[in-house]
Amino acid sequence: MGAVVGTLTMQTKPRRPSGDKIDDDLEMTMVCHRPEGLEQLEALTNFSKRELQVLYRGFKNECPSGVVNEDTFKQIYSQFFPHGDASTYAHFLFNAFDSAHTGSIKFEDFVTALSILLRGSITEKLQWTFNLYDINRDGYINKEEMTDIVKAIYDMMGKYTYPVLKTDAPKQQVDAFFQKMDKNRDGVVTLDEFILSCQEDENIMRSLQLFENVI
């Protein structure tokens, strides 16, 4: 859970604007995709107009075309995990951001998800995270899906993780998760089971609350 919120925070915490005047609207020159107007995005997210302006400047610096494909997303994301392989986790995260399954992430997709992860309610954050784990989008999380995500997180953290992780650590962690989350023992975790189990876990709740209002 912290891997989702924490790494996004590192990537998106905006720099203080320069002394130059910031226009009342987003700078749109020389981009292939034109985002929605500031007022609409402000209404759809929990960010202020000024915060959206700063976030867009950073987004445009990394992605001048106005959209991010998966390869570019992986390249950006991997910079924050130089000792591990973040490609698989970045793939799952990209798919969660690309909710329309277009093969690219627009600024609207990015900032809407970021708004949930950083400023959303506990339930909204848990719903978004459930969708990340529900790889095949069937409304359930099975052990295979959770194992794929957990393995990807372990690979991302790298071989220099301390203490050194055992090769069977992902399986043990998934087994422990399912023991706690699969309330009716039917082999899958529903959204309701996921939310209830996370709310009962102090560590998960602490990680969700830690990054509130960091921007």
- Reported as a single tens digit per residue, the pLDDT across 74-87 is 999 999 888 899 99
pLDDT at 109 over 90: yes
The least confident of 14-18, 81-85, 105-109, 181-185 is 14-18
Domain span at residue 194 reads: 121-214
Task: Provide the number of structural domains found in the chain.
Answer: 1
Domain contains 207: yes
8 A C-beta contact, residue 84 and residue 162: no
Q: What is the pTM of this model?
A: 0.77
Q: How far apart are CA 198 and CA 177, in angstroms?
A: 10
Domain contains 139: yes
Q: How far apart are CA 69 and CA 71, in angstroms?
A: 6
Instruction: Find all residues with CB under 8 Å of 40, minimum gap 6, and list them.
Output: none
How much is the mean pLDDT over the chain? Answer: 81
CATH number at residue 200: 1.10.238.10
Domain contains 87: no
Domain contains 27: no
CB atoms within 10 A of CB 77: 20
Domain contains 53: no
First-to-last C-alpha distance (Å) of the chain? 19
Domain contains 72: no
